[in-house]
Chains A and B, each alone.
Chain A
């Protein structure tokens, strides 16, 4: 009885699938899906070899500090960093005093309430504050950016496939739209107000090129600020901001794995010992 019912149900599913299979093959032959411009022209990021990549990677704090400078002088005009606090900067090598000075001098102030009138106001940042958003809210951000919303950057390198390399590739990816793209895919011409960038998933990004020329900023440590250097450095900084505990994770991981390897060896020895007289 069970087997008869099973046979009938099995036959029904196989028949429904067979029918769907036939339909899929027929559609694939008579009406194949057209190739898309994204499919042909999208480029995957190349490896920029950050020191934090790899099994036991550590941050290059000098580079992360330079990247912070790029964020501060370029990105922070539009992008928030809301899950990072000023106090976190002590972890990339700034002293408590420096952090206090950075927070106090930050151009965008922290929203607060006027204690006398109860009206909305702003005050200077302190180390305990998160980085303030450059816009009061999403509508203000969109209004200032051609209706596009600049994403928060705290987690950006974890929120994109191959994120650290992606940030560099995106910043370096701006170029004129290739003539053959427009020729092959006339519908995919970059719309007005967007910018062609093959590192971006759909090829057209709302963000105008943020790094426009070498020497756009002057690095505090004297490193030559080429476009490529700035893109690498800010990628390093955003890798830190997304995963600030990476170094302690790697360190704890090494200790744990060594411990467990010894544990496994001892347990295996105990197992051999317990079973030494038993055939199995």
Chain B
């Protein structure tokens, strides 16, 4: 694990030496996120988002644990206990707004993190396992976020739970039985709310565990970089600390600034007014929409409006929605191009840009009224989404002619500064 020139942990204090012999935890930290981890010198700010996702998870766990001290997971009082937190608990409004908007911040930085991986080919060999674990984390996050949204027991909580658990009833034959079993009743009620609360408290720690595996798997080949070219020698890397701790610090500062603006000045911007109405099984909201971060997938679900072959439209929609995420597991093998970075892949770069726009269109359609114009837009955008990953990407990764790659990271860095590798040999010092 790691490069031969990585710095070694040498405790100087007797206490630290003693600790290192009994439990080398400081050594582990030193080698993972300290000076003992050599990282390519050319990482740009897009590489901040992995650390930011970790920061967001920590914020969610801290605010969430305190919120759970005041919240009551019972359908009769859940909505009222949320209002109690907002009005009567000291700083409760801050905790709840930070937790609700923290979920949005978490999903946002993770989406950027995924997009970074897509652009720079971070999912490719030798980092397939990092990517696979990342998709697992993403799935766990989606489950956690969904169950968290149910807890305040507002109208969107209830009807969102109704719609999402309804997916399982699309399974032929046993679907309805599975749905009732999962919910603990025929509709979301106290049983569902209680198990959602239990799982919502559990899953973040599962996520934390998978994150440890994600970082472990990353440290075996080491970090990718904007050129996608492998590290060739010591001159290509810098120690993680202090170089990237300092750079990540800037990202963390910017992250908290945006986070604070949301929490203090627009805390309900990303929420839905209907969730300030207590859940009422007898009154269906005019438009049931999920939170913004699920809208693209919701648009895919809604795009299958006609039965096709022997499969009903609803089952198509559910298969497509789950498929749209599960296909990410196969990405490292769908893209066979040996070049990682899209900077050197002129055709892939264009299609990736279209995909980004496509997902934004899907997001718009997911939240918009289902009038003909929007449905048509959603169907075309969904077609592109599947075509991109399952048809275009495998084809283009064989047919495209990549641009010439720099021979090393150092060469690419120096070329950016208008120098050649020979002009400044003592670069790493």
Partner-B contacts on A (CB < 8 A): 2-3, 6-7, 9-11, 13-21, 23-25, 27-28, 32-33, 55, 83-84, 88, 151, 154-155, 158-161, 163, 201, 242, 244-245, 249-250, 252-254, 256-257, 260-261, 263-264, 267-268, 270-271, 273-275, 278-280
Contact = CB atoms under 8 A, between A and B. Distances in A.
Contacts of A2: 330, 333-334
Given A16-B316, A161-B273, A257-B260, A21 B372 contact: no
B275 to A, nearest CB: 8
B250 A13 contact: no
A17 B379 contact: yes
**Interchain residue pairs A-B with the least CB separation, the first 10:** A253-B264, A10-B390, A264-B253, A28-B372, A159-B276, A274-B246, A16-B308, A21-B379, A13-B386, A267-B249
B interface secondary structure, majority:
helix
Given A13-B323, A279-B413, A24 B379 contact: yes
A279 B414 contact: yes
Interface string B356-397: 000000000000000110011001101100110111001000
Contacts of A10: 386-387, 389-391
Contacts of A244: 87
B427 interface: yes
A263 B87 contact: no
Contact of B306 (A6, A20, A151, A250): A20
B313 interface: yes
Contact of A257 (B261, B276, B286, B309): B261
A278 B94 contact: no
Chain B, interface size category, equals 35 or more
30 contacts: A2-B333, A3-B336, A6-B391, A9-B323, A11-B390, A16-B308, A17-B382, A20-B305, A20-B313, A24-B305, A24-B379, A25-B376, A32-B372, A33-B372, A55-B265, A83-B83, A155-B83, A155-B276, A160-B273, A249-B94, A249-B264, A253-B263, A256-B260, A257-B260, A257-B264, A261-B257, A267-B252, A271-B246, A271-B250, A280-B413
A17 B268 CA distance: 35
Nearest to A266: B253
Contacts of B333: 2-3
B44 to A, nearest CB: 9
Interface in B385-428: 386-387, 389-391, 394, 413-414, 417, 424, 427
A260 B246 contact: no
Interface in B313-350: 313, 316, 320, 323, 327, 330, 333-334, 336
Interface string B222-263: 000000000000000010001100110110111011001101
A9 B93 contact: no
A14 B300 CA distance: 12
Contacts, number: 174
Q: Which of B86, B252, B254 is the most central at the interface, judged by chain A CB atoms within 10 Å of its CB?
A: B86
Nearest to A264: B253
B303 interface: yes
A249 B263 CA distance: 9
Contacts of B247: 271, 275
Contacts of B243: 274-275, 278
Contact of A159 (B277, B386, B424): B277
B383 A17 contact: yes
B273 A270 contact: no
Contacts of B386: 9-10, 13-14, 17
Contacts of A83: 80, 83, 87
A163 B273 contact: yes
Contacts of B97: 249
B334 A6 contact: yes
Contacts of B327: 6, 9
A14 B383 contact: yes
A274 B240 CA distance: 12
Contact of A245 (B86, B320, B413): B86
B41 interface: yes
Contact of B41 (A7, A11, A14, A280): A280
Given A16-B316, A163-B273, A278-B238, A7 B379 contact: no
B253 A6 contact: no
Contacts of A160: 273
Given A6-B394, A20-B304, A279-B427, 19 more contacts: A3-B394, A6-B327, A6-B330, A9-B327, A15-B308, A16-B320, A20-B306, A21-B380, A25-B372, A151-B277, A154-B83, A245-B86, A256-B264, A257-B257, A267-B253, A270-B249, A274-B243, A279-B424, A280-B43
A199 B250 CA distance: 47
B42 interface: yes
B4 to A, nearest CB: 21
Contact of B260 (A7, A16, A159, A253): A253
B391 A24 contact: no
Nearest to A156: B276
B36 to A, nearest CB: 17
Among A10, A25, A160, A257, residue most surrounded by chain B Cβ atoms (within 10 Å): A10
Interface in B255-299: 256-257, 260-261, 263-265, 267-268, 273-274, 276-277, 286
B376 A24 contact: yes
A17 B307 CA distance: 10
A33 B371 contact: yes
A3 to B, nearest CB: 4
Nearest to B262: A253
A115 B281 CA distance: 36
A271 B248 CA distance: 9
Given A16-B316, A159-B274, A270-B246, A280 B42 contact: yes
Contact of A264 (B94, B257, B323, B414): B257
Contacts of B334: 2-3, 6
Contacts of A151: 277
A21 to B, nearest CB: 4
A260 B260 contact: yes
B274 A14 contact: no
B251 to A, nearest CB: 9
A261 B286 CA distance: 41
Contacts of A6: 327, 330, 334, 389-391, 394
Nearest to A166: B273
Contacts of B257: 257, 260-261, 264
Contacts of B256: 260, 263
